[in-house]
Each structure stands twice: as C-alpha cells, then as structure tokens.
Amino acid sequence: MTGFRRVLRITAMMAAVLAPLGAMADPLKVMTFNVRYASDEGAERWAVRWPVMVELIRRAAPDVIGTQELLQRQGDDLTKALPGYRWFGRDRMGGHANEHMGIFYRPDRLTLVEHGDFWLSDTPEVVGSQSWGTDLPRMANWAVFETKEARPHRFLFLDTHLAHRDEDAEARDKAAALILSRLPALAKDLPVVVAGDMNARPDTAAYRRFAGALTDAWGSAKRREGPAMTFHDFTGTPDRRIDYLFLRGFKAGAVTTDTYHQGKTYPSDHFPVQATLMFDR
C-alpha cells in the first residue's frame, strides 16, 4: 500500500469514527395544544372533533405534545388512532376523572427517563391544592426525555395550564414564578421546553416573567407560519395569543400555529403551536 493510499484509508476511518460525534442532532418537534375537554353535545362534540384532531397530529408529526384540558377518554382515543404515541399524567385532582395536562410522545423517537408533577399553589406537593384565589386546582406535568439518535440528548419538557379568569392575573404571575423556581432542580443544566395555555397575553406580568427567564419560541423563530393569536372559540378567527412554547438551550427553526380544520369543524377552540427545534449543543 502506498503512503498516499494509507493516508486516505486512515482519513476515511477517522471520519467514520468521528462523524456520529460531530453530527447535528435531528430536529425535535414540540407542540402545545389545548384540546378542549370532551363533550357529547353540540356541534363541537368530541365524536365530531376527534377525527380532525387525529389528522392534524398525523400531519404535523410532533415528537412530544403538551396538552391541556385532556380527559382520559380523549387521550385513549387519540393513542388508539395514533398507535405511534403514548401519553401519561395525572389529572388536577390526582386521578383520572378530571382534566389532565397529558404529555404525548413518540417512543420511536424519545425515551421517557423520568416524570412527575406538582400543583401551582403554596403547597406544590399537595395533590389538588390551590392558592391565590383560583377557582380550580392548577398543576404542571413534566418529563425528562432522551432522544434516540447516534448522539442522544436529554431535555426537560414541562406542560401547564394557568388560571383562566380575568381576576386571576396575580395567580398566573405567581404560578409562572413557581414554575421557574423549580426548573433548576428538575432540569439542572438540561435544555428546557415549557409548554402551555398560559391564559396570559404578551402584555401581562406572567408572560413577562416567563419571557424574562426563557425564550419565546414564536419571537425567536427563523420562520413563522400561521397567526400569532391562538384562541379562536371554534370560529377559526383567533382573537388572543395565550398558548406558548418557552425555551432554554434550543434554537427555534420554524414555529407554526396550525389552523388545520375540515369544513367548519375545528379540532379545538385553540390552535396548537408547534416548533421545530435544534439543540444548542
């Protein structure tokens, strides 16, 4: 073997060894989606909406979805129709009879490392607890995932739904502060996605608190598609922006507010927001 050929062979071997280490991670697709709790009455009943929701998720193909207002039967219906997904989470009373912040994920893309939850109150570990004048218990569901790729990455995904009434502005701000205060213990130095229906417009204290500590995916994205506003009350015409993906340790490529519908049927009264993310490192 000539010296030149030997150099070429060594170079090729080194490239084969080092390529996985230096390869860029596959994009991660994350979504937040208030699915609107199931009802068996009216034009927006679950039997009419869920096939449209299934098709929206199938087309978007997110790796992980943070849902709000999810009832157990909705989660089970969705995973039955979309067998590539699993979901987990307790409801806000600690069982499965009420609304969940259910987290869906693709086990072919992600390994669930650990998960847990806490309540948005002065006693976060007390199941079903509430504070600050809210009319319902509010909570956060979280998980640490690891990507399935040559160079795996771990990240924290946290899903929440803040208090909804106009008079709950202080409660939303305190809930945001509580969530942020718990990220160091939950995530340590991992990248973070905080997803949810925050019931807070961008001019509110709760939004400013989140945006002061994390990055709003919509504002930082290289490309945006769809309307900035997300709540549309089944009309298709949104009138407020209250659904968010906040980030740390990621760069957002495309962020989409997904307006998919079939005729006059929308899958929910909120449009879901999806971001395509790359790990910073």
β-strand 28-34 against 273-279: which pairing, if any? antiparallel
Look at residue 23 in the predicted model and tell me its pLDDT: 38
Q: What pLDDT score was predicted for residue 34? A: 98
Domains of the chain, with CATH numbers? 27-279 (3.60.10.10)
Q: What is the mean pLDDT of residues 145-174?
A: 97
Cα distance between residue 11 and residue 54, in whole Å: 48
For residue 11, pLDDT over 50 is answered with no
Cα separation of 138 and 101, whole Å? 10
Instruction: Measure the CA–CA gap between 176 and 19, rounded to whole angstroms.
Output: 41
19 pLDDT above the threshold of 50: no
What local confidence, expressed as pLDDT, does residue 26 receive? 82
Q: Look at residue 221 and tell me whether its pLDDT is greater than 50.
A: yes
What average pLDDT does the structure give for the chain? 93
Residue type, 248: R
End-to-end CA distance of the chain: 40
Q: Using DSSP bridges, classify how beta strands 223-225 and 273-279 pair: parallel, antiparallel or unpaired.
A: unpaired
Residue 94 neighbours by CB under 8 Å, 6+ apart: 127, 128
Q: What is the mean pLDDT of residues 229-240?
A: 98
- For residues 70 and 46, the answer to whether their CB atoms sit within 8 Å is no
Beta bridge partners of 118: 140
> What is the Cα–Cα distance from 250 to 48, expressed in whole angstroms?
36
The amino acid sitting at 24 is M
Task: Specify the pairing of strand 154-161 against strand 192-197.
Answer: parallel
pLDDT score, position 92 = 98
CA distance 21 to 188: 23
Least confident of 3-12, 107-116, 152-161, 192-201: 3-12
| pLDDT grade for 281, boundaries at 50, 70 and 90 | confident
Q: Are strands 28-34 and 192-197 parallel, antiparallel or unpaired?
A: unpaired
Contact 191, 279 (CB under 8 A): yes
Mean pLDDT to the nearest integer, 257-279: 98
Q: Please write the tens of the pLDDT for every residue from 37-88.
A: 999 999 999 999 999 999 999 999 999 999 999 999 999 999 999 999 999 9
Quick: pLDDT tens for 125-152. 999 999 999 999 999 999 999 999 999 9
Q: Return the percentage of the chain with pLDDT > 90, whole number.
A: 90
For the cut 50, the answer to whether the pLDDT of residue 224 exceeds it is yes
When pLDDT is cut at 50, 70 and 90, the band that residue 2 belongs to is: low
Strand (E) or helix (H) holding 147: strand 139-147
For residue range 91-114, what is the model confidence (pLDDT) as tens digits? 999 999 999 999 999 999 999 999
